[in-house]
Amino acid sequence: MNGSGNGQGGGASAPAPTQQLDTIQALRFIAAFAVVIVHSTFYTKERLADISLYDRGTNGVRLFFVISGFVMIASTLGLVDRPKAGVVFAVKRLIRIVPVYWVATLFKLAIMLIIPGAALHAALDTDYIVKSFFFIPALNSDLKLYPVLGVGWTLNFEIFFYLLFTVTLLLRLDPIRFIAPILLVDAAAWYFVSPEWPIPAQFWANPIVLDFLAGMVIARLWSRGRLLPSAVAWGAVGFGCL
């Protein structure tokens, strides 16, 4: 990862916590662009014409999870020793996500009430709607694990990550040592999931959580100045894009 003022190679000094990371902003754009394309092709295929679905765009979500794990570590470097660090962290994250998500969900509900035929894959079920607002995985009208606002499924994972990180800060534990075992067990549980499990457990038992852990590990290495040589880094970027 390169930021303004970063050195090259493994001998670089640890970056400042407040440093602007241009690489992260670029990766966010790439991830968002990929997701926009897959959503565009999906809704076009579903509602307008039988076109090819750009399903590889779903990797943009996985990239977002890696970025999220990185940001969790990088943004709390100067927060760990502060009083009530966990509360400060949780409040800031919820303020950034909840209002916008709730407004978008309310808009979807309004469409379901006014023009029922225009809203697909959701039903006016009170229990389902409440769970959607509070990031609790639930089955939609198609018996799939999506909230009222379908794209909100990623936030159900994000809130899970935030909860783990909040507990880590409240207990003043090392985030990787505390969270890594949980995510590893969570990912391994995917191989044993059955319909008898509670719905939230079926949802969160998913190897995709390892992307979040990968971001955390990358951030830990970055914070200690352990950076890849430029040639290796660019080669990895090219390979990843390919």
**From CA 113, how far away is CA 150, in angstroms rounded?**
17
Placement of tokens 């001998």 in the chain: 11
Assess contact for 200 and 137: CB atoms under 8 A. Answer: yes
**From CA 178, how far away is CA 159, in angstroms rounded?**
17
pLDDT at position 15: 53
AA letter at 227: L
C-alpha distance from residue 68 to each of 45, 127, 138 (Å): 30, 29, 23
Confidence of residue 135 (pLDDT cuts 50, 70, 90): very high
What is the DSSP code string of 64-118? HHHHHHHHHHHTTTTTTTSTTHHHHHHHHHHHHHHHHHHHHHHHHHHHHHH-GGG
pLDDT at position 116: 76
In b/e form, how buried is each residue of 47-62, taking b as 16+ CB within 10 angstroms? eeeeeeebeebebbbb
- pLDDT tens track for 106-122: 999 998 888 877 777 77
193, with CB counted inside 10 A (0-12, 13-18, 19+), is: middle
Type and span of the H or E element at 22: helix 22-47
pLDDT at 151 over 50: yes
Provide, rounded to the nearest whole percent, the portion of the chain with pLDDT above 90. 53
Per domain, the residue ranges of the chain are 78-241
Side-chain-side CA neighbours of 76 within 13 Å: the count stands at 33
Sign, CA dihedral 167-173-174-180, equals: negative
In b/e form, how buried is each residue of 203-237, taking b as 16+ CB within 10 angstroms? bbbeeebbbbbbbbebbbebbeeebbeeeebeeee
The pair of three-digit structure tokens given for residue 53, joined into one six-digit string: 């679905």
Type and span of the H or E element at 190: none
**From CA 99, how far away is CA 96, in angstroms rounded?**
7
- pLDDT tens track for 46-105: 777 787 878 888 899 999 999 999 999 988 877 767 778 888 899 999 999 999 999 999
| Residue count (the chain) | 242
pLDDT at position 20: 59
pLDDT at 17 over 60: no
Please state whether the predicted TM-score (pTM) of the whole model is above 0.75.
yes
AA letter at 112: M
